[in-house]
Structure 1
Amino acid sequence: MINKKTILIIDDDEIFLDVLGRALTRRGYFVVAASTAKEAVASCERHQPSKAILDLKLERGSGLTVLPQLKIIKPDIDVLILTGYSSVSTAVEAIKMGAKDYLCKPADIEEILSVFSGKRINIVTTGSHQTPPSVDRLAWEHIQKVLLENKGNVSATARILGMHRRTLQRKLLKRPVKQ
C-alpha cells in the first residue's frame, strides 16, 4: 500500500508506539508500527511510507543502523530521529545519514508534525537566558561522540576514555543529564 499519509513509527516502547500511533491516526495518518529493526525494514518494504519516526536507541541496536536501510528501500522517505538519549554527535551523524531532523523526547505531536511540514517549532531559547551545558552533560556528549567514532564498540570506547567497560556500560544505560 503506497499512501502519502503513511507513517512508520519505530520504537521499542510499546506504550509510546500506541500513544503516538493513536495521535497520528486522529490526524489522518495511516500508521504502521514496528518495535525492532527487522520489523521496521519489512514494514518499510511492504507499506512504502512517506515518513518515519525512528527511535535512536532500540532494544537491540541503534536507529542509526536502521536509517540507511530505510533510505535504501525508499530514498525519498522523511525520517525523524526521536530520542531520549540525545547528543550533538548522534544528531550530526543522523542528519549526515539522511534524517530530516532530530528531536529529543519528550516531543509533543505538534513538534513532530512541524518537522514533517517544514515549519519546525524552535524550542531552543536564545539570548542571554540560555545556560551553558553542565559538566555532566558535556561528559555524556563526549562519551556519545567517542562511542560513535568507535562504531558502537563499548570496549574500545572504554579504553579510549580510560574507564572500565562495565562502568561505561552503566553510564550508557542511564538517561542523559539534562542541559
Structure 2
Amino acid sequence: MLVDEGVSIAARPGVSDERSILLVDDDRPFLTRLGRAMEQRGFSVTMAASVAEGLAAAANGTPAYAVVDMRLGDGNGLEVVQALQKAREDVRVVVLTGYGNIATAVTAVKLGAVDYLAKPADADEVIAALMHGPDAKAEPPENPMSADRVRWEHIQRVYELCDRNVSETARRLSMHRRTLQRILAKRAPR
C-alpha cells in the first residue's frame, strides 16, 4: 500500500503480515525504486513521504520491518522510529541518511534501530541490514568513502545548513573563510 497523496497500491496476494515493511523517505524517486525492489523480494510495502504520513501508517498497522530516512521535510525520522517501537517491540528498523555521523547513529540505535545505512542504499543492503541477527556483525562496505570524501561531505552538509553562507559556515567549522572557499571550489574527492 502506498501512502502517497491518496494513491494506493494493494499488497501482493500471498504475502504474510510478517513480510510487511514501511518505507519512509521524502526522496520520492528513491522511495518508489526501493518500494518496487522490496515488493519484488516478497514484501508487502507501505510507503510514506513524510513524518506525518509515517506516523499515520504506523498507527494504521505496525509492520514487521521499516526503513526510515533520518531527515525528512517535515521533521526527524526518529519520531517514526519511536512510534514504531512503542507500537511493536519486535519491529526491525533500519535508518537511512545522506549525512552520516556517529551521534545520530548512536541515537537511532538507542531508539531501537537495528542498523544505520548511508544513502543511497540498494534493496540488497537494506534487506541484509534488516535480516541479520542481533549478534551478527554487519559486512564492511565494498567501497567505503575515503576520509577526504567524508570530510568534504561534512563541509557540504554544514554549508547547506548555513544556507550556503561561506562566512557562517567557516565560523561554525572553526576554519578560515578563504580556506573554506578553496575547499568549496574543488570537486568532491573520491
Per the normalisation by structure 2, the TM-score is: 0.66
1:24 is paired with a residue whose SS is helix
Of the structure 1 ranges 85-94 and 5-14, higher mean CA displacement relative to structure 2 is found in 85-94
Aligned to 1:21: 35
Tell me if 1:107 matches 2:121: yes
- Higher relative helix content: 1
Tell me if 1:123 matches 2:123: no
Aligned to 1:95: 109
Tell me if 1:54 matches 2:68: yes
Unaligned runs of 5+ in 1: 145-158, 164-176
Instruction: Please state how far the C-alpha of 1:140 moved relative to its aligned partner.
Output: 2.9
Q: Tell me which structure has the larger Cα radius of gyration.
A: 2
Change (3 A) 1:178 1:94: farther
The number of residue pairs the alignment matches comes to 150
Which amino acid in the other structure matches residue 20 of structure 1?
A: L
Deviation string, structure 1 residues 86-129 (Cα, Å, up to 9, x no partner)? 1111111111111110001121111111112206752347xxxx
Instruction: Please state how far the C-alpha of 1:36 moved relative to its aligned partner.
Output: 1.2
Percent pairwise identity? 33
**Aligned equivalents of 2:150 and 2:61: distance in 1?**
42
Name the structure, 1 or 2, with higher relative contact order (CA <8 Å, separation 6+): 1
**Aligned equivalents of 2:117 and 2:61: distance in 1?**
24
2:99 is paired with a residue whose SS is coil
Unaligned runs of 5+ in 2: 1-10, 159-167, 173-187
Which amino acid in the other structure matches residue 89 of structure 1?
A: A
Kept after mapping to 1: 8 A contact 2:25/2:49: yes
Aligned to 2:45: 31
Which residue of the other structure, out of 83, 100, 107, is the alignment partner of 1:69? 83
Kept after mapping to 2: 8 A contact 1:111/1:121: no
Kept after mapping to 2: 8 A contact 1:137/1:178: no
Instruction: Please state how far the C-alpha of 1:32 moved relative to its aligned partner.
Output: 0.2
